[in-house]
Amino acid sequence: MLTRSDIHQKSRRWVVKIGSALLTNDGRGLNKEAMAQWVSQMVALRQQGIELVIVSSGSVAEGMQRLGWSKRPSEINELQAAAAVGQMGLVQAYESEFAKNSIHTAQILMTHDDLSNRARYLNASNTIQTLLEHGVVPVINENDTVVTDEIRFGDNDTLAALTANLVSADVLVILTDQNGLYNDNPRTNPKAELISEAQVSRKDIEAMASSEGGSLGKGGMYTKVMAAKRAARSGTATFIASGREDNVLPRLLAGEPLGTLLIPDLEPLTAKKRWLAGHLQAKGQLVLDEGAVKALQSSGKSLLPIGVKDMSGEFQRGEMVVCVNDKNQEVARGLVNYPFFETQKIMGHPSSEINQILGYSDGEFLIHCDNLVLAD
């Protein structure tokens, strides 16, 4: 089992996510002094052989400051305009600070759509891998200038976790304005205790995490816990720590008891299954009977059409669908072999009848086990 003392010896690739409240000094423009300190810390990590990928918030907040807006806009076009303006200052700040140490940076803007497409996912992975091989520090952000709700990651904690999966990171560090995960909300309960370490599969850590976020950020502690669970799919350990703690990154590398370490304690998924699990939006839903649920969860089998009781949505062959039980709890998700209208015809029937019902057969499975991943 991974411990803090293992981090220095066993980790070589880190994803560091810095939130809006830290980067923008709670909305008052980019905190360049703080950014310089984090960059200095990351340079120190580089000198100890750590490859770095940054997932950075701050473009919308910086754009708001540049445009003189005191309140985050609700209109999508105004948010996109703020992101476009703010991205210039954000990237310029990182570039100038890293350049002081002769380190190049690269800007990568992504949407969920980019990672949902298998070819683009692999292209993104290869690009980042090449940048790291050349000593470049990639700076990743959601492409807020074009993103819509349908292709949004939702928050940069989620983007950071998917980035950790994308690059097979050893460690994900989520820097926030809190000291870590507490057993209760420290803002309302002064007796709340900091959790130093926990296995990511612990059921109670989700209940401990607050779902409240600040005025600038979209995520609370809950999104950070869920990010740790997603990151664990690639065997990535997650630190949730205060970005205001002095020299926090080198101290985490040294094994100091700062923040919360969420330890991956499940078998990592294969690269393809990590990609499948990263699909946040699905095109439809399949309701499974008890036998099908058991077959998927206990035996790792493929989904047959006979196990489907009901369905909804609009999907084509090869698109992502979510499989739920009769209590509407997610069981799995995967790429379906038949489009909606054909699935509607064959659901509840044995696979031997597919050809008779449809006039052809594209295989006995509705979702093959290679294209299916169980819910966390």
Q: Any idea which residue has 């950071």 for tokens?
A: 160
Q: Who has greater pLDDT, 33 or 72?
A: 33
Chain length of the chain: 376
Q: What is the DSSP letter of 305?
A: G
Q: List the structure tokens of 151.
A: 């292709």
Query: What is residue 28's predicted lDDT score, i.e. its pLDDT?
Result: 67
Fold match, 4-274 / 282-374: no
- Strands 197-199, 260-263: pairing is parallel
CA 353 to CA 269: how far, in whole Å?
33
**Nearest-CA neighbor of 245 among 236, 237, 254?**
254
**Nearest-CA neighbor of 210 among 240, 173, 181, 179?**
181
Q: Considering the entire predicted model, what is its pTM?
A: 0.81
Q: Which pairs with CB-CB distance under 8 Å and at least 24 residues apart come from 299-303?
A: 300/369, 301/369, 302/365, 302/366, 302/367, 302/368, 302/369, 302/372, 303/332, 303/334, 303/365, 303/366, 303/367, 303/372
Residue 242: strand pairing partners: 176
**282-374: which CATH topology?**
2.30.130
Q: What is the DSSP letter of 147?
A: -
**Nearest-CA neighbor of 67 among 96, 25, 97, 27?**
27
Domains of the chain, by residue range, sit at: 4-274, 282-374
CB 113 within 8 A of CB 151: yes
Query: What is residue 282's predicted lDDT score, i.e. its pLDDT?
Result: 83
Helix, strand or coil for residue 320?
strand
Split at pLDDT 50, 70, 90, the class of 307 is very high
Query: What is residue 218's predicted lDDT score, i.e. its pLDDT?
Result: 40
Query: What is residue 210's predicted lDDT score, i.e. its pLDDT?
Result: 57
What are the angstrom distances between the C-alpha of 113 and each of 19, 60, 180? 22, 20, 31
CB 124 within 8 A of CB 115: yes
Dmax (CA) for the chain in angstroms is 70
Non-local (6+) Cβ contacts of 329 within 8 A are: 375
In this predicted structure, the answer to whether residue 93 has a pLDDT above a threshold of 90 is yes
What is the dihedral sign for C-alpha 343, 345, 348, 354?
negative
CATH class of the domain at 4-274 = alpha beta
pLDDT tens across 124-176, in order?
899 999 999 999 999 998 876 665 554 344 578 989 998 999 999 999 999 99
**Average pLDDT of the chain, as a whole number:** 87
Non-local (6+) Cβ contacts of 227 within 8 A are: 157, 158, 160, 161, 172, 174, 238
CA 207 to CA 191: how far, in whole Å?
17
Query: What is residue 327's predicted lDDT score, i.e. its pLDDT?
Result: 92
Least confident window among 28-42, 95-109, 196-210? 196-210
